[in-house]
């Protein structure tokens, strides 16, 4: 070991080390110089240790220490000693001791940085600048914690999958382009000019082939790539936990995966989830929550009132019913009476008028209008009140469980429009009525309050160790959504498209519809989504294991047999080579890391992310390349 090398990390020293001569390596976090003593907080991945330079003891060393600046890398050899009475810190694990420096070695200097490395959101530099100097931003303790948690998440997953007999098998990055859905990244080939590999959008076909090969239980934490227009929470490359099992039905897959979720939440967050997760059908999710990934942390369920409102005198309700539409409502419990911080009504009538806060939400989804009723003193008020007879009012009261202070919000129109509009309105209401808390928001408040306590204690020369925040099971509402439609009609392309993917099996009881062209819209698929707090956190299906069924799907999707053979011939052959029943799922690992880390920025959970325009601001990729390289690949720019 070299003289400068550490004997301990910056997190290891305790009272028991007092009197020992040790060496620490790390970064200078802060320097405080009171003229007689210089205190530095030395930081590494593991923690912080205070180092003291005493002018009286060693003037030369003191002068040397005067040079130190933030982010310099140093080696300090010194004596561990107990801090003076009152100087101990309860908020760091090494707070009982400090190191009296005897030797200082500067391992690397650091000129002033392009931005200060701060932990506080409000003080963060512009994100583009931080992405350009990602290696500096990654020094933030909060980002380090996220990446450490992501490592832990993957380790917990692998331990669990291994313990359940799953084999991790690596599948190729260089595959074949099978244009379908999202766009493939293409890779020209030097050996075969004019031909291209494609980077995988998922290992879907490979994992199915592994089942056909008899591997029984497969998983992979797999990198996938899509050359798509980005959204705030997308990256061109992403990671998924990819799983496939043989000789299974739906409940085998969902069961294994929900018990994995229990393990993850327990080991990564200390949260005890209960299983089984609630299951609801796609039809139920759409009618009750207006979407297929319902946020179940709150009620605000949607109720169908087509029969009641359709029987009212309101012409727009009658028209909607006549056009084959539906009328549905949300009872925003207490929203009529709710007040904001200034004691003004939370939702004034203005919010309910066209273009107002609530009406705007439904208008975004092409709903023609937002009707409403308030319940006050046992009576309905509102412009549509007059269209309802007492009998209909009574029915409405019963159907919606309406009581004083409630606000009933009603949308009429085609079912898909009503679902979208009320689904969005439901989320909006829940946020405004504060019906749920994201755990990281609660944590931020908690941490703020603990910091105040610590500050107050400090003023009184007392020592306060902040209590860490502990998320609870109520922060995480998982569910399974089942029985998705198999096909959706693509109005633009005038053809059927697969709702999940073309390898998903139809439900046995819907096979009669499947083999006819007339009722394809009625076919449900053996697909399932894992949903958490309004996000899809996993999606899978039982796959087709019969060649005739797979060929029929390709036919329904508009492929002729030659096309199907050219693109998926190897799969069709494999299905005729002894393919077992099988099914699987994929979980979006980046999303899981975000939830567990408590961040809403996907770039926080990826060490070297692209920005929202899919560019790596640090290396400058993508970039122009040498003509020689292109020539070898047999391509040129167009």
Which residues fall in the annotated binding site for ATP? 226-228, 235, 536, 588-591
Q: Which is nearer to a second copy, 94 or 533 (CB)?
A: 94
Strand runs labelled E in 34-72: 37-43, 48-54
Q: Which is nearer to a second copy, 156 or 285 (CB)?
A: 156
Among 40, 101, 131, 199, binds a second copy (CB under 8 A): 199
Check: CB of residue 54 under 8 Å from CB of residue 47: no
Among 115, 196, 316, 387, binds a second copy (CB under 8 A): 196
> Quick check: 175 binds a second copy (CB under 8 A)?
yes
Q: Which is nearer to a second copy, 138 or 457 (CB)?
A: 138
| Region label for 149, one of left (φ > 0), alpha (ψ between -120 and 50) or beta (otherwise) | alpha
Among 53, 62, 160, 197, binds a second copy (CB under 8 A): 197
Among positions 607-626, residues that touch a second copy (CB under 8 A) are: 607-608, 610, 613-616, 618-626
Annotated binding site: 180, 226-228, 235, 500, 536, 543, 588-591
> Quick check: 560 binds a second copy (CB under 8 A)?
no
Token pair, residue 16, equals: 């028991």
Q: Which is nearer to a second copy, 123 or 162 (CB)?
A: 162
Site string for a second copy, 299-338 (x = CB under 8 A): ----------------------------------------
* Residue whose C-alpha is closest to residue 407's, from 302, 330, 485: 330
**Residues in the chain, total:** 638
**Run of H or E including 379:** strand 379-381
Which DSSP letter does residue 526 get?
S
Task: Name the phi and psi angles at 76, rounded to 5.
Answer: -120, 125
CA distance linking residue 501 with residue 557, whole number of Å:
11
DSSP, collapsed to helix, strand or coil, labels residue 348 as: coil
Least Cβ distance, residue 449 to a second copy (angstroms): 29
* Residue whose C-alpha is closest to residue 28's, from 113, 118, 109: 109
DSSP, collapsed to helix, strand or coil, labels residue 561 as: helix
Stretch that binds a second copy, among 210-218, 398-406, 479-487, 511-519 (CB under 8 A): 210-218
Among positions 136-165, residues that touch a second copy (CB under 8 A) are: 136, 138-139, 144, 147-148, 150-151, 154-155, 158, 162
Q: Which is nearer to a second copy, 72 or 372 (CB)?
A: 72
CA distance linking residue 441 with residue 427, whole number of Å:
17
Stretch that binds a second copy, among 123-131, 203-211, 319-327, 355-363 (CB under 8 A): 203-211
DSSP, collapsed to helix, strand or coil, labels residue 97 as: strand
Q: Which is nearer to a second copy, 431 or 607 (CB)?
A: 607
Q: Which is nearer to a second copy, 19 or 112 (CB)?
A: 112
DSSP, collapsed to helix, strand or coil, labels residue 592 as: helix
Site string for a second copy, 493-532 (x = CB under 8 A): ----------------------------------------
Among positions 39-68, residues that touch a second copy (CB under 8 A) are: 43-46
> Quick check: 536 binds a second copy (CB under 8 A)?
no
Among 83, 176, 399, 432, binds a second copy (CB under 8 A): 176
CA distance linking residue 207 with residue 210, whole number of Å:
5
Among positions 216-235, residues that touch a second copy (CB under 8 A) are: 216-217, 223, 225, 227, 229
- The CA distances from residue 125 to 97, 119, 137, in Å, are 34, 11, 9
> Quick check: 546 binds a second copy (CB under 8 A)?
yes
Number of residues that bind a second copy (CB under 8 A): 124
Least Cβ distance, residue 117 to a second copy (angstroms): 10
Token pair, residue 41, equals: 């907080």
- The CA distances from residue 19 to 16, 78, 88, 184, 379, in Å, are 9, 10, 17, 62, 79
Among positions 563-602, residues that touch a second copy (CB under 8 A) are: 570, 573-581
Annotated binding site for L-aspartate: 180, 226, 500, 543
* Residue whose C-alpha is closest to residue 245's, from 525, 585, 483: 585
Among positions 90-129, residues that touch a second copy (CB under 8 A) are: 107-111, 113
Among positions 7-26, residues that touch a second copy (CB under 8 A) are: 25
Report the DSSP beta bridge partners of residue 125: none
Among 8, 13, 17, 27, binds a second copy (CB under 8 A): 27
> Quick check: 256 binds a second copy (CB under 8 A)?
no
Among 15, 119, 247, 383, binds a second copy (CB under 8 A): 247
CA 538-543-548 angle, to 5 degrees, is: 155
Q: Which is nearer to a second copy, 393 or 545 (CB)?
A: 545
> Quick check: 177 binds a second copy (CB under 8 A)?
yes
Among 201, 239, 287, 477, binds a second copy (CB under 8 A): 239
For residues 51-85, one letter each, b for 16 or more C-beta atoms within 10 angstroms of the residue's C-beta and e for the rest, the string is: bbbebeebeebbebbeebeebbbbbbbbbbeebee
> Quick check: 558 binds a second copy (CB under 8 A)?
no
Least Cβ distance, residue 596 to a second copy (angstroms): 15
Check: CB of residue 582 under 8 Å from CB of residue 527: no
DSSP, collapsed to helix, strand or coil, labels residue 329 as: strand
* Residues 6 or more apart whose Cβ sits within 8 Å of residue 304: 287, 326, 327, 328
Among 19, 85, 126, 191, binds a second copy (CB under 8 A): 191
Stretch that binds a second copy, among 198-206, 425-433, 438-446, 460-468 (CB under 8 A): 198-206
> Quick check: 549 binds a second copy (CB under 8 A)?
no
SS (H, E, C) 426-483: HHHHHHHCCCCCCHHHHHHHHHHHHHHHHHHHHHCCCCCCCCCCCCCHHHCCEEEEEC
> Quick check: 194 binds a second copy (CB under 8 A)?
yes
Q: Which is nearer to a second copy, 218 or 388 (CB)?
A: 218
Least Cβ distance, residue 88 to a second copy (angstroms): 26
Token pair, residue 620, equals: 């400058």
């Amino acid at each position: 070991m070299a003289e400068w090398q550490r004997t301990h990390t910056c997190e290891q020293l305790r009272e028991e080390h007092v009197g020992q001569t040790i060496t620490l390596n790390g970064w200078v976090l802060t320097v405080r110089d009171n003229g007689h003593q210089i205190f530095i907080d030395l930081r590494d991945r593991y923690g912080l240790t205070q180092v003291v330079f005493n002018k009286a003891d060693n003037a030369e060393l003191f002068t040397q220490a005067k040079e130190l600046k933030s982010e310099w890398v140093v080696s300090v050899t010194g004596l561990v000693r107990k801090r003076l009475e009152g100087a101990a810190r309860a908020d760091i694990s090494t707070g009982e001791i400090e190191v009296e420096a005897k030797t200082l070695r500067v391992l690397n200097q650091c000129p002033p940085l392009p931005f200060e490395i701060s932990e506080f959101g409000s003080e963060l530099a512009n994100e583009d600048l931080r992405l350009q100097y990602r290696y500096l931003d990654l020094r933030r303790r909060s980002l380090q914690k996220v990446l450490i948690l992501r490592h832990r998440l993957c380790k917990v997953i692998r331990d669990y999958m291994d313990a359940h007999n799953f084999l991790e098998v690596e599948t190729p990055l260089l595959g074949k382009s099978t244009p379908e859905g999202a766009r493939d990244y293409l890779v020209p080939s030097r050996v075969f000019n004019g031909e291209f590999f494609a980077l995988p959008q998922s290992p879907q076909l490979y994992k199915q082939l592994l089942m056909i090969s008899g591997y029984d239980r497969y998983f992979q934490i797999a990198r996938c790539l899509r050359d798509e227009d980005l959204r705030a929470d997308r990256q061109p490359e992403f990671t998924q936990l990819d799983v496939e099992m043989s000789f299974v039905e739906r409940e085998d897959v969902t069961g294994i995966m929900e018990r994995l979720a229990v393990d993850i939440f327990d080991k990564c967050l200390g949260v005890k989830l209960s299983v089984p997760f609630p299951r609801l059908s796609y039809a139920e999710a759409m009618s009750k929550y207006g979407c297929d990934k319902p946020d179940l942390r709150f009620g605000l369920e949607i109720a169908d009132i087509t029969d009641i409102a359709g029987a009212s005198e309101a012409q727009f309700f009658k028209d909607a019913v006549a056009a084959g539409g539906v009328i549905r409502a949300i009872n925003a419990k207490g929203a009529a009476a709710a007040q904001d911080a200034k004691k003004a009504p939370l939702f004034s009538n203005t919010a309910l008028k066209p273009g107002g806060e609530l009406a705007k939400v439904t208008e975004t989804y092409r709903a023609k209008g937002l009707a409403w009723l308030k319940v006050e003193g046992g009576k309905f008020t509102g412009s549509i009140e007059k269209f309802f007879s007492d009998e209909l009012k009574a029915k409405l009261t019963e159907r919606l469980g309406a009581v004083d202070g409630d606000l009933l919000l009603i949308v009429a129109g085609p079912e898909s429009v009503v679902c979208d509009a009320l689904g969005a309105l439901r989320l909006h209401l829940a946020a405004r009525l504060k019906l749920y808390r994201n755990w990281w928001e609660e944590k931020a408040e908690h941490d703020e309050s603990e910091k105040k306590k610590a500050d107050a204690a400090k003023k009184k020369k007392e020592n306060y160790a902040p209590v860490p925040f502990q998320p609870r099971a109520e922060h995480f509402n998982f569910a399974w959504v089942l029985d998705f439609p198999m096909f959706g009609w693509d109005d633009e392309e005038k053809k059927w498209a697969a709702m999940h993917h073309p390898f998903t099996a139809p439900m046995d009881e819907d096979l009669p519809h499947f083999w006819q062209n007339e009722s394809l819209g009625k076919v449900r698929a053996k697909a399932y989504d894992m949903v958490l707090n309004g996000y899809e956190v996993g999606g899978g299906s039982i796959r087709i294991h019969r060649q005739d069924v797979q060929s029929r799907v390709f036919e329904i999707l508009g492929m002729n047999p030659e096309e199907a053979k050219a693109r998926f011939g190897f799969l069709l052959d494999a299905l005729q080579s002894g393919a077992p029943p099988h099914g699987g799922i994929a979980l979006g690992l980046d999303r899981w890391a975000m939830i567990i880390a408590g961040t809403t920025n996907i770039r926080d959970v990826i060490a070297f992310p692209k920005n929202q325009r899919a560019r790596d601001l640090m290396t400058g990729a993508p970039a122009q390349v040498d003509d020689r390289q292109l020539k070898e690949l047999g391509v040129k720019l167009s």
